[in-house]
Amino acid sequence: MADKDDVIKLLQQNVAPDVPRAEFSAVELNKKVFRVKRGNSSWILKKTEEGTKELLVHRLFSSYKVSQFDQWVLNENWICMTDLGLPILGEVLNSVGFTRESSGFFYAIGRVATSAFVAGMRDRNLGNVLYDVHLKRCYHVDYTSGLEERLSDRLFRPHRLLAYLIGRLYLDILSGIKEHKADFPPHSFETFYSGIRDEAKRMADCTIPLHISGKIVWKPYILRTHSLLGKIDSLWPKAVRLASRKYLERLPEHWRPQVFIG
Ligand SMILES: Nc1ncnc2c1ncn2[C@@H]1O[C@H](COP(=O)(O)OP(=O)(O)OP(=O)(O)O)[C@@H](O)[C@H]1O
Ligand SMILES: [Mg+2]
């Protein structure tokens, strides 16, 4: 079990060995994740058994020019990323004036759903995506679930991951908003889908360098997933039907009829 002192020492050794330890301070976000500060600089350090995989997902996203934080592996147990001090989605839903901002917000959520889809990422709960209110942009954190969706599912049932992402990133958000007694955000589903499609078009033009796809044990996975970017439109109706069967109950009843019709 690491404590704040261990984490500060680890960061200090890696970023500024000559700087006195007293200049760093740390806060424990949970048992595995710490925020360390020095002056205006801030880092997130995370204990992980899968640092190499997280780095691979990071590199994959870099090839796709997906917005993300710098990330590096400190040792076999710890990764580190720059901290922009952004809130998680769960916190954004509490913020005042949210519904006025909802159009850019749902568009950004759609875009981040596409990168999750391509990277076969599950575990996209409201604590694993951050939102920049000013740039209206989302960022994934927690890459441990990257490349997790099985290749056979990607090949034969790709709409399932899309449906899951509709559940996690759209319906869960709506139910979070509902808890805060806002009105139904108009056109939010269409906007969410526009974000998905635009990001898919943008990513489809990117190439994954061989030195990255070659490192992925799941190389066919990435190639296959890339080709799905051009098929989002045809997968979408099936994904929406599955999401409405499987995940709609997360919403309060009187919101359900409005959901997929905008
Ligand atoms: N780059 C970051 N910027 C701001 N906050 C972050 C960042 N990375 C993580 N956090 C905060 O720390 C929390 C936990 O981080 P993360 O989701 O990576 O770990 P975890 O959930 O403990 O890991 P796992 O899901 O692999 O068990 C996040 O929900 C978020 O609040
Ligand atoms: Mg997490």
Please indicate whether residue 130, judged by its CB atom, sits closer than 6 Å to ligand 1. Answer: yes
pLDDT, one tens digit per residue, over 60-83 is 999 999 999 999 989 888 999 999
Instruction: State residue 214's pLDDT score.
Output: 67
Contact present, 194 and 107 (Cβ < 8 Å): yes
pLDDT of residue 123 exceeding 90:
yes
For the CA of 88, the closest atom of ligand 1 is: 31
Distance 86 CA to ligand 1 centre (A): 11
When comparing pLDDT for 207 and 222, which is higher? 207
Percent of the chain scoring above 90 in pLDDT: 64
CA dihedral 46, 208, 170, 167 (to 10 degrees): -80
Ligand nearest to the CA of 47: 1
Place of tokens 């906007």: 191
Joined together, the tokens standing for residue 256 give 């359900």
Contact present, 154 and 108 (Cβ < 8 Å): no
Contact present, 222 and 121 (Cβ < 8 Å): no
User: CA–CA separation, 177 vs 183, rounded Å?
Assistant: 8
Distance 234 CA to ligand 2 centre (A): 31
Distance 127 CA to ligand 1 centre (A): 7
Q: How far from chain centre, in Å, is Cα 41?
A: 23
Average pLDDT over residues 130-148: 92
Distance 262 CA to ligand 1 centre (A): 32
Nearest CA to ligand 1 atom 21: 142
What element of type H or E holds 188?
Answer: helix 188-204
Q: Note the CATH number of domain 4-82.
A: 3.30.200
Nearest CA to ligand 1 atom 1: 83
The CATH fold assigned to 89-261 is 1.10.1070
Nearest CA to ligand 1 atom 28: 127
Residue 239's pLDDT band (cuts 50, 70, 90): very high
Average pLDDT over residues 120-145: 94
User: Domain map of the chain by residue range?
Assistant: 4-82, 89-261
Which candidate, 94, 67, 111, places its Cα nearest to that of 173?
A: 94
Ligand nearest to the CA of 145: 1
What element of type H or E holds 219?
Answer: helix 219-228
Instruction: State residue 220's pLDDT score.
Output: 63
Say what the pTM is. 0.93
Contacts of 226 (CB under 8 A, 6+ apart): 118, 204, 208
Please indicate whether residue 29, judged by its CB atom, sits closer than 6 Å to ligand 1. Answer: yes
- Scored b (16 or more CB within 10 A) or e, 31-68 reads eebbbbbbeeeebbbbbbeebebbbbbbbbbebbebeb
Distance 130 CA to ligand 1 centre (A): 9
Residue 254, burial from CB neighbour count under 10 angstroms (0-12, 13-18, 19+):
exposed
What element of type H or E holds 255?
Answer: none
Please indicate whether residue 80, judged by its CB atom, sits closer than 6 Å to ligand 1. Answer: no
